[in-house]
Amino acid sequence: MAKVKISAVVNTRNESENIFDCLKSLGFCDEIVVVDMESEDNTKEIAKQFTDRIYDHKAVGYVEPGRNYAIRKALGDWIFVVDADERVPRTLAAKLIEIADKNEVDFVRVPRKNLVFGQWLRHSRWWPDFNIRFFKKGSVEWQDEIHSVPITYGTGINLEEEVGQALEHHHYRTIDEYFLRALRYSGQQSKELIDSGYKFDPADLIKKPTGEFLSRFFAGEGYKDGLHGLVVALLQFFSILLVYLKVWQAEGSKPRNEREFTPIWQAGFREKFKEFRYWFLTSKLENSESKTESFFLKLKRKLL
């Protein structure tokens, strides 16, 4: 049997619309391992066109627990972790083969070109979106927490922030898909918050979602992504709000009377309104073509 140098591992659940194009782009790998997490469509049947190394794993609502299992099943010296809604351009494939041949590093952070509602988001904190995806077996392991950063051992590098070296990620295609995923993930995220010792603070219903919106739309320059940038920032606002609402629900949906609650929401809005003004003035300053206007915008921002 020929030595397996690069193993691609793909975790799936109901990915019949994505899996063919994903696996087709992995032809440069010596092995493809698919771990299916209780799909109810024909994902596994499609995957059989590309590999016979298909395994089953319990569905837990998110991918991390299944990733370590998939990696253990892989035979390659190098592991390439790919999501079913991702595609690998030939230029990236060539770069990964080169890295494996040189064998000078232990893990690689790969940028992702995120396509959301059909548009590549170049800002909004969605680019370059580095993820640790290519590594020597034994150099990386995932924790069980949702969206957790993997544990690494050894030396790592970042690929260049170039489209040709980026995974093509066909992310949310419809609003319904976004909401369904937010509903699914928020339960696990709220549980992890509670398990970490967090106690519900009503002000966080204002501060946390608004902070996320400001981070995406202003600090992350989401406004440069046009309408898509605004839509995604608002959806992220909702996603974070949902997590904290579920914490409140888990603690019994305790009421707060008007006298007790009024200073809480007023303080929360006051803080975030100040942040909003700062970022609003910053965005205007960036687009200002007048020295006089720039001076007064800087002055206003300083006086906040």
Domain tally, the chain = 2
Domain boundary pick from 123, 146, 170? 170
Which of 96, 90, 89, 135 has the alpha carbon at shortest distance from 112? 89
* Prediction pTM value: 0.87
Q: What is the pLDDT of residue 297?
A: 64
Q: How far apart are CA 91 and CA 74, in angstroms?
A: 24
Say how far residue 172 (Cα) sits from the centre of its chain. Answer: 11
Q: How far apart are CA 113 and CA 150, in angstroms?
A: 20
Distances (CA, A) of 22 to 59, 76, 81: 21, 19, 12
pLDDT at 32: 98
Is 246 in the same domain as 161?
A: no
User: CA 83 → CA 10, 26, 161, 243, 257, distances in Å?
Assistant: 6, 11, 20, 24, 46
Could you tell me if residue 1 is inside a domain? Answer: no
How far apart are alpha carbons 52 and 161 in whole angstroms?
34
Range of the domain at 186: 175-302
112 located within any domain: yes
The reply to whether 197 and 231 lie within a common domain is yes
| 170, 205, 232 - which closes a domain | 170
Q: How far is CA 31 from the centre of its chain?
A: 26
pLDDT in 10s for each residue of the chain, 304 residues? 456 799 999 999 999 999 999 999 999 999 999 999 999 999 999 999 999 999 999 998 888 888 999 999 999 999 999 999 999 999 999 999 999 999 999 999 999 999 999 999 999 999 999 999 999 999 999 887 777 789 999 999 999 999 999 999 999 999 999 999 999 999 999 999 999 999 999 999 999 999 999 999 999 999 999 999 999 999 999 999 999 999 999 999 999 999 999 999 999 999 999 998 888 888 888 877 787 777 766 777 777 7
Single residue among 150, 170, 190 that ends a domain in this structure? 170
Q: What is the pLDDT of residue 50?
A: 98
Residues 283 and 250 both lie in one domain: yes
Same domain, yes or no: 165 and 180: no
Indicate whether 191 and 248 sit together in one domain.
yes
Residue 215 sits in the same domain as residue 297 = yes
What distances in angstroms separate CA 8 from CA 81, 137, 167, 236, 291, one per listed residue? 6, 11, 13, 30, 54
Do 91 and 233 fall into the same domain? Answer: no
Please tell me the predicted confidence (pLDDT) of residue 19.
98
List CB contacts of 175: < 8 A, sequence separation 6 or more.
117, 235
Is residue 169 classed exposed, middle or buried when 0-12, 13-18 and 19+ CB atoms within 10 A define those classes? buried
Residue the block writes with tokens 């040189």: 102
Nearest to 20 by CA among 105, 87, 114, 81: 87
What pLDDT is stored for residue 104 in this prediction? 96
Q: Are residues 75 and 151 in the same domain?
A: yes
- Shared domain for 164 and 298, answered yes or no, is no
Helices 204-214, 258-287: crossing angle, 10 deg rounding: 10
Q: How far apart are alpha carbons 64 and 113 in whole angstroms?
A: 21
The helix or strand, by DSSP H or E, that contains position 5, with its residue range, turns out to be none
Q: What is the CATH number of the domain that holds 75?
A: 3.90.550.10
Residue 200 to residue 209: CA distance in whole angstroms? 14
Q: Are residues 23 and 153 in the same domain?
A: yes
pLDDT of residue 77: 97
Q: Is residue 274 domain-shared with residue 289, that is, in the same domain?
A: yes
